[in-house]
Amino acid sequence: MTERVDHPGLTGAKVLVLGGTGVISSAVVRRAAEVGHEVTVLNRGRSQAEALHTPPDGVRTLQADLRDPEAVRGAVGAEEFDVVASFFAFVPDHVRADLDVFAGRTGQYIFISSASAYQTPPARLPVTEATPLRNPHWRYSRDKIACEDLLVSRYRETGLPMTIVRPSHTYDATSVPFDGGWTVVERMRRGAPVVVPGDGTSLWTLTNARDFARAFVGLFALPSTIGSAFHITSDEALPWNEIYATIGRAAGVEPRLVHVPSDAIAAADADFGASLLGDKAHSMVFDNSAIRSVVPGWAARVPFAQGAREIVAWHDADPSRRQIDPRLDAIFDRLADRYAA
């Protein structure tokens, strides 16, 4: 079957991406340009983005601090867009600033929320868009929920043409899917024990950014998506033990896994603990029927085994990419020493 996503929405839509150099947003920019949309990215232009995250030829770049509405207005002038995709809004004030500039000047405002906004832990699986939004563990998620509440209110009151998209754990070759990043892979390779939260059997969904982008771009300028929310994830859910083992195989080693209670990890490092208890410690399996209903034929194509090989190959290609976090490395040592028995 030919995927409709190859010619998504309004062909040749005029698209503005706020951000555009992150793992997810850069993949969206590349996909949108690839299928023939007229793409502009707006950001500060100061980040030292990896080559993988830089806009391809033909994508226009505007520069402004997205936290400065007057600078944004100056950068875009009087232009109007078919789609404005906001990858850089994390609290309601950020959304309000976007709407102050773009409401009435775009046919679709797409807000990038987070699947961590769903009820955590979920009362039932798989998670659907009807799953309640509630996360008492992580401020990041509660802020995203507040952003969604604002947008839903504007839609109901004014007909704001908005669409909400909730990514789950989305990665590309630059992003090792563990807190600590490459530190964990380096520990595997030197034979040091690797800390795995809980008993490692909870199920986790990892989505390659290329797969996400194919579905996301398929939402552009589709009237049926206005006022709705969609998550976009892989259908492959793996136990954390297997995720660690898959990265280990890609790195050429068999990792020594030490299982540590999530609460103990949170006590050792508050930031690590917030993202763990508020997200990764709980099984998250998703029903993607909603996104397929508007982007027929879409399916995630990249299995994590392939993604893991890409991650390791990208890091091994340049020693400067293999960054170690000494603080987390020491925390892992202490936790492993305590729980190895």
CATH number, domain with residue 226: 3.40.50.720
Residue 1 has pLDDT above 70, yes or no: no
Q: What is the mean pLDDT of residues 68-82?
A: 96
Write down the pLDDT at residue 245: 98
Does residue 289 lie within any of the structural domains? no
Q: Tell me how far apart the alpha carbons of residues 9 and 11 are, in angstroms, rounded to a whole number.
A: 6
Q: What confidence tier does 227 reach under pLDDT thresholds 50, 70, 90? A: very high
222 and 186 in one domain?
no
* pLDDT, average across residues 50-54: 85
Tell me, yes or no, whether 245 and 278 share the same domain.
yes
Hey, what amino acid is at 264? Answer: A
Q: Is residue 71 part of a domain?
A: yes
Indicate whether 253 and 332 sit together in one domain: yes
pTM score, whole prediction:
0.93
Look at residue 295 and tell me if it is in a domain. Answer: no
166 and 147 within one domain: yes
201 & 215 share domain: no
Average pLDDT score over residue span 290-312: 97
| Co-location of 66 and 195 in the same domain | no
DSSP string over 265-330: HHHH-HHHHHHIIIIITS---B--HHHHHHSTT------HHHHHHHHHHHHHT-GGG----HHHHH
Q: Is residue 190 part of a domain?
A: yes
Q: Is the confidence at residue 248, as pLDDT, over 70?
A: yes
Question: Are 86 and 197 in the same domain?
Answer: no
In a shared domain, residues 242 and 252? yes
Q: Can you give the residue range of the structural domain that contains 190?
A: 182-205+238-284+305-339
Contacts of 162 (CB under 8 A, 6+ apart): 108, 109, 110, 111, 151, 154, 155, 226, 227
| Strands, E assignment, the chain | 14-18, 38-43, 60-63, 83-86, 109-112, 162-167, 169-171, 194-197, 203-208, 229-232, 237-239, 257-260
Residues 51 and 147 in one domain: yes
- Is 94 found in the same domain as 195? no
Q: Do residues 52 and 144 both lie within one domain?
A: yes
255: left (phi over 0), alpha (psi -120 to 50) or beta: beta
Q: Structural domain tally of the chain?
A: 2
116 and 201, same domain (yes or no): no
Give yes or no for residue 279 having a pLDDT over 80: no
Instruction: Report the pLDDT value the prediction gives residue 337, as an integer from 0 to 100.
Output: 94
Q: What pLDDT is stored for residue 11 in this prediction?
A: 67
Which residues does 9 contact at the CB level (< 8 Å), separation at least 6?
A: 83, 217, 218, 219, 220, 221, 222
pLDDT tens profile 7-28: 344 568 999 999 999 999 999 9
Q: Is residue 290 part of a domain?
A: no
